[in-house]
Structure 1
Amino acid sequence: MNNKGAAAVLGAVSLLAAGCGGTAGSPSGAPAGGGTFTYAITGDPGALDPATSVLSVTNSVLAMAYDTLVNISADGTVVSGLAEKWDVRPDAVTFTLRKDVTCSDGSPLTPRDVAANIAHITDPATKSPINGVLVPAGLAAEADDAAGTVKLSTPKPFSFILQSAASIFIVCGKGIKDRTLLNRGTSGSGPYRLTEAVPGDHYTFRVRQDYAWGPGGATTKTPGQPTTIVMKVVLNEQTAANLLISGGLNGAELYGADRARLEATPGIGRTVQPMGNGQFFYHQGADRPAKDPAVRKALTQAVDLRQLAGVASGGTGRPVTGLVLEPRPCRGDTVTGHVPPHDAAAASAALDAAGWTKGADGIRAKNGNRLTLRLLYSTARGSGVQAAAEFLADAWKQAGVEVKLNGVIDTKAAESLNVTQDWDVVWLPIGVTLPSQLVAFLSGPAVPKGANFAHIANARYEKLVAEASAKPAQEGCPLWQQAESALFANADLVPVVENTILVAARNATFEALGDSVLPTTIRMTEGC
């Protein structure tokens, strides 16, 4: 899940122009040697063990120090990473590793190391939240150190068995034997190694000069590659904007009103890119009002989703067409025509028919129980989400619903979702690059036994997913898309808007994949 939400991962690639308004190679944007690149992150990443990481802010930090077996390019093509080649079958993929890869402690990366990562994540005792999500359910690994290969297999054919490897950070070296080292340290083969961790303030990384196995063979020897990267915790977007303008930051992402200020500031390189959906889920536990699909649909009809989209995004959003981030493996619109349309009168009639009648105070009740919704949302997403929560509360109040707003920080939101379950509706973006990565969140065992935090039980979704999973990726795409639409038609979750972010840079250029900077693409620039 996205930090700023529940599940992690990656989104569309963007390349920023040089922060002084030129382009790399021009007088105002020529590569500068070495230096320090400072990037704002919106919260503390917490524990740095890749096996336990579900927050995108954590993964954006881990991306500095860890590699994956393969990588996904901007057009969705699979390119090399730790593996130089691969052989794909319906239920298995065999990777041949590069022979020159070393861990940050100098030890060589072996197929056995890769297999140990998979075994650790899939071990029930680990209770890894990425097992069955980023890591396919039932994944097994078989290493052949002599041949330099590792085979990943699933119990039955799995559509995206190759592409899923791009989401699994590989631990190596000392961290394999002692995972406690990963609480506040890193042990990876990535282009940088963590040298200082000050929780709540900053995380400092130092370049590995011998690194030569990045995406598509990227190295750290390109002119302008920074010697040091500082991931600085900046909780307030206005502060981040001020630091960018003053030169205290080289990069940041902004969701809210300060975007306009940066767009008008000379010397700031910037691009706008999609960044996951604004959406909300209904808790369908046995004792919850939204267990009844008629109630879910009525609550959805009570809300003008177009107006809500503008409120949530501050007018910077785009129409939402699906759940998966760019570059999507399956193209098409799964949303239009499948979400219950806005109709306040129909919503009121449906709630009446479901037995929820208005009392003297205007609040509906059934069998002596008031129709109360506890609306959970993360305060780290900025003022737009707060405004969206208030908009929802007002729309539902008019429909006769009592709404209790609960804005919390990301870690508290994760606790509420997965432990205390003290919510009825949650505003929660889930950022994934493969439709298969959604399955554990949207079906199967409910928390705490599984990742299905909303207790969704959609038989049509489950049937279509089972059929799609058994087919090769592109062949299964129509089924994956029908499965998404089934969720919307049943009001299991309500997509509202495709959020966008302003990715801004000063005195530097870089590519960003979702909210993760690709470290081998960072270039410090001169002349600003």
Structure 2
Amino acid sequence: MRNTGAAAVLGALGLFATACGGAADPPSGGPAAGGTFTFAISADPGVLDPAMGILSVTNAVLSLAYDTLVQITPDGKIVSGLAEKWDVKPDSVTFTLRKDVTCSDGSKLTPADVAANVDHITDPATKSPVNGVLVPTGMKAEADDAAGTVTLSTPKPFSFILESSTQLFVVCGKGVKDRSVVARATSGSGPYTLTEAVPSDHYTFQVRKDYVWGPDGATTKEPGLPAKIVMKVVPNEQTAANLLISGGLNGAVVLGADRARLEATPGITKIIKGMGNGQFFYHQGDDRPGKDPAVRKALTQAVNLKELAGIATGGTGRPATGLVMDPRPCQGDTVTGHVPAFDEAAAAAALDAAGWKTGADGIRAKDGRKLTLRLVYATTKGTGVEAAAEYLAAAWKKAGADVKLNGIIDAKLSETLNATQDWDVIWLPIGAPFPSQLVGFLSGPAAPKGANFAHLANTRYEKAVAEAVLKPGEEGCKLWREAESALFDNADLVPVVENTMMVAAKNAKFDVIGNMFLPLSVRMTEAG
């Protein structure tokens, strides 16, 4: 993985993977013919070139107009997309493309088009933020137009080479030769085409009636599929909730207090979905208290993580079970039984044993140095995170630490992690579709020379990862799970809670997976 600013990329991945699969419970009415489906997005998507899109809001918009080689179902199954079959090897995957796929301008999709997309992303001159994050570092593409195949390969084995292609939106038609075409328009093979773009207000898409190559043969001829989809920019959640209730929206994602209001509103269907972990890391630099695993474990034992989880999410979270977002390529709980349990007495005894003795002022010290912790958190993440930081500070002060709270804006996180590195503990949400995308942040060269911002050096993790990357897909899953658990056993980072969000709908139903809005799942429904 490239050495990109740790906070910037972790934040982007967290935004990128904002939901897991599932469908809203259907309203009582039946399918409604045609119509317009209006969905709230929290910010303007910006440049629409898929090579530059890493935020969830951008990819939600792009998912209407672009297809991927294969797709993933809400339960994690890989199904057909542009490719009808595929052959996976540890360091390559060969896709056989469907022969009936056309771009929105009427041109046929070719293997060369797919290869051109990969070449464009991996070209250093492009400066694509998805290179080395969503597209594996060093990936190359080889097209065989006569055979109808394209082969994607990596310099060394890559566990999720097939799964990573579910993230690659394929530009075709005019956009392949002239990428400026897709800066404010679309040129893809997806089921909808962008017809109107009003930045910071709305983006309107028209259905393609000739679309028949969706996942597992899905088409745009299904009853209730909307003729138009409008992605409406609504930055304020309260406004979005108001519009949903009044009928000005058909769908929205709500994270905060308005969830309770929607929950009590008749006619609104809703489901709760995961959207990344709330967790904290210990700095393990040579001059930091967190360098000593005994201190990390003791500090973790001093915190009631269940109470902390409720505070951080306002009671809307659920137990964390791993680092990777749903639908995970490697299913299973890597957290339970691997995080030091809450035990204040054991924490105090462990700190005593590690040489940190309580002074007359109640602050522990060792070799004349006080146990001081600078706790960093993002002030822009909401009142729950600030309250969680205050709760942590109180627990650690009770255990004998002098805790200094340092709330900063998101824009300063990268500087704090990579440049100044002036922190001891940081509350840092994290999320990625594949565990391989986190390796550079959890091992390897430490910041500022590398992306390993917490200076982690977990030999069990590194050993398991070294073996896991040599095995594709499920073969390596046991090792990837072992690697994650090794981090928790060692209290390198502490998963506290899985954050959740409400996906709400009115007179419609739809699915989302990760950042992907699934346009072919949308159904307009008559009011019940």
**Contact 1:319–1:497, Cα closer than 8 Å, also in 2:** yes
Identify the residue that residue 500 of structure 1 maps to in structure 2.
500
State yes or no: 1:440 paired with 2:440.
yes
Task: Give the 3 Å change call, closer, same or farther, for CA 95–405 of structure 1 in structure 2.
Answer: same
Displacement of 1:142 after TM fit? 0.9
What secondary structure sits across from 2:16 in the alignment? coil
In 1, Cα distance between equivalents of 2:426 and 2:125: 29
What secondary structure sits across from 1:30 in the alignment? coil
Identify the residue that residue 17 of structure 1 maps to in structure 2.
25
Which amino acid in 1 is paired with 2:33?
Answer: A
**Contact 1:10–1:516, Cα closer than 8 Å, also in 2:** no
State yes or no: 1:217 paired with 2:217.
yes
Identify the residue that residue 166 of structure 2 maps to in structure 1.
166
What secondary structure sits across from 2:59 in the alignment? helix
Task: Give the 3 Å change call, closer, same or farther, for CA 154–278 of structure 1 in structure 2.
Answer: same
Identify the residue that residue 115 of structure 1 maps to in structure 2.
115
Identify the residue that residue 25 of structure 1 maps to in structure 2.
none
Which amino acid in 1 is paired with 2:58?
Answer: T
**Contact 1:60–1:515, Cα closer than 8 Å, also in 2:** yes
Displacement of 1:448 after TM fit? 6.4
Identify the residue that residue 342 of structure 1 maps to in structure 2.
342
Displacement of 1:373 after TM fit? 1.6
What secondary structure sits across from 1:510 in the alignment? strand
Task: Give the 3 Å change call, closer, same or farther, for CA 470–365 of structure 1 in structure 2.
Answer: same
In 2, Cα distance between equivalents of 1:130 and 1:77: 23
What secondary structure sits across from 2:526 in the alignment? coil
Aligned pairs (5 A) from 1:273-284: 273-284=273-284
Give the stretch that moved more between structures: 37-46 or 261-270: 37-46
Task: Give the 3 Å change call, closer, same or farther, for CA 361–241 of structure 1 in structure 2.
Answer: farther
Which amino acid in 2 is paired with 1:322?
Answer: G
Identify the residue that residue 86 of structure 1 maps to in structure 2.
86
Identify the residue that residue 33 of structure 2 maps to in structure 1.
32
In 2, Cα distance between equivalents of 1:286 and 1:204: 54
Give the stretch that moved more between structures: 446-455 or 157-166: 446-455
What secondary structure sits across from 1:338 in the alignment? coil
In 2, Cα distance between equivalents of 1:418 and 1:31: 53
**Contact 2:283–2:291, Cα closer than 8 Å, also in 1:** yes
**Contact 2:71–2:78, Cα closer than 8 Å, also in 1:** yes
Which amino acid in 1 is paired with 2:432?
Answer: V
- Unmatched 5+ stretches in structure 1: 23-27
Displacement of 1:95 after TM fit? 0.4
Which amino acid in 1 is paired with 2:61?
Answer: V
**Contact 1:9–1:59, Cα closer than 8 Å, also in 2:** no
Q: Report the TM-score when normalising by structure 2.
A: 0.86
What secondary structure sits across from 1:115 in the alignment? helix
Displacement of 1:64 after TM fit? 2.0
Q: Report the identity percentage.
A: 68
In 2, Cα distance between equivalents of 1:281 and 1:187: 42
Q: Report the TM-score when normalising by structure 1.
A: 0.86
In 2, Cα distance between equivalents of 1:433 and 1:30: 33
Identify the residue that residue 3 of structure 2 maps to in structure 1.
none
In 2, Cα distance between equivalents of 1:243 and 1:11: 22
Identify the residue that residue 473 of structure 1 maps to in structure 2.
473
**Contact 1:122–1:128, Cα closer than 8 Å, also in 2:** yes
**Contact 2:191–2:519, Cα closer than 8 Å, also in 1:** yes
Task: Give the 3 Å change call, closer, same or farther, for CA 197–344 of structure 1 in structure 2.
Answer: farther
Identify the residue that residue 315 of structure 1 maps to in structure 2.
315
In 2, Cα distance between equivalents of 1:489 and 1:195: 52
Task: Give the 3 Å change call, closer, same or farther, for CA 515–123 of structure 1 in structure 2.
Answer: closer
**Contact 2:373–2:423, Cα closer than 8 Å, also in 1:** no
Aligned pairs (5 A) from 1:71-82: 71-82=71-82
Give the stretch that moved more between structures: 66-75 or 369-378: 369-378
**Contact 1:30–1:527, Cα closer than 8 Å, also in 2:** no
**Contact 1:465–1:483, Cα closer than 8 Å, also in 2:** yes
What secondary structure sits across from 1:520 in the alignment? strand
Identify the residue that residue 249 of structure 1 maps to in structure 2.
249
In 2, Cα distance between equivalents of 1:168 and 1:109: 15
In 2, Cα distance between equivalents of 1:149 and 1:216: 19
Displacement of 1:337 after TM fit? 1.8
Displacement of 1:288 after TM fit? 5.0
Which amino acid in 1 is paired with 2:380?
Answer: T
Which amino acid in 2 is paired with 1:29?
Answer: G
In 2, Cα distance between equivalents of 1:226 and 1:255: 26
Which amino acid in 1 is paired with 2:308?
Answer: L
Task: Give the 3 Å change call, closer, same or farther, for CA 3–240 of structure 1 in structure 2.
Answer: farther
Which amino acid in 2 is paired with 1:507?
Answer: N
Task: Give the 3 Å change call, closer, same or farther, for CA 201–414 of structure 1 in structure 2.
Answer: farther
Identify the residue that residue 380 of structure 2 maps to in structure 1.
379
In 2, Cα distance between equivalents of 1:17 and 1:286: 52
Give the stretch that moved more between structures: 294-303 or 414-423: 414-423
What secondary structure sits across from 2:520 in the alignment? helix
Identify the residue that residue 43 of structure 2 maps to in structure 1.
43
Which amino acid in 2 is paired with 1:31?
Answer: A
Please list the CA deviations of residues 484-514 of structure 1 after superposition, one character each: whole Å capped at 9, or x if unmatched: 1011112222111223322110111111213
Please list the CA deviations of residues 302-333 of structure 1 after superposition, one character each: whole Å capped at 9, or x if unmatched: 32111111222322322222222333333332
In 2, Cα distance between equivalents of 1:260 and 1:74: 25
Displacement of 1:139 after TM fit? 2.2
Displacement of 1:232 after TM fit? 2.8
Task: Give the 3 Å change call, closer, same or farther, for CA 222–314 of structure 1 in structure 2.
Answer: same
Displacement of 1:150 after TM fit? 0.4
**Contact 2:377–2:385, Cα closer than 8 Å, also in 1:** no
State yes or no: 1:156 paired with 2:164.
no
Aligned pairs (5 A) from 1:119-268: 119-268=119-268
Task: Give the 3 Å change call, closer, same or farther, for CA 134–286 of structure 1 in structure 2.
Answer: farther
Count of residue pairs brought into register by the alignment:
518
Identify the residue that residue 428 of structure 2 maps to in structure 1.
428
Identify the residue that residue 16 of structure 2 maps to in structure 1.
8
State yes or no: 1:403 paired with 2:404.
yes
Task: Give the 3 Å change call, closer, same or farther, for CA 378–29 of structure 1 in structure 2.
Answer: farther
CA RMSD of aligned residues (A): 3.2
Please list the CA deviations of residues 359-379 of structure 1 after superposition, one character each: whole Å capped at 9, or x if unmatched: 777666777688242422363
Task: Give the 3 Å change call, closer, same or farther, for CA 198–414 of structure 1 in structure 2.
Answer: farther
In 2, Cα distance between equivalents of 1:271 and 1:479: 32
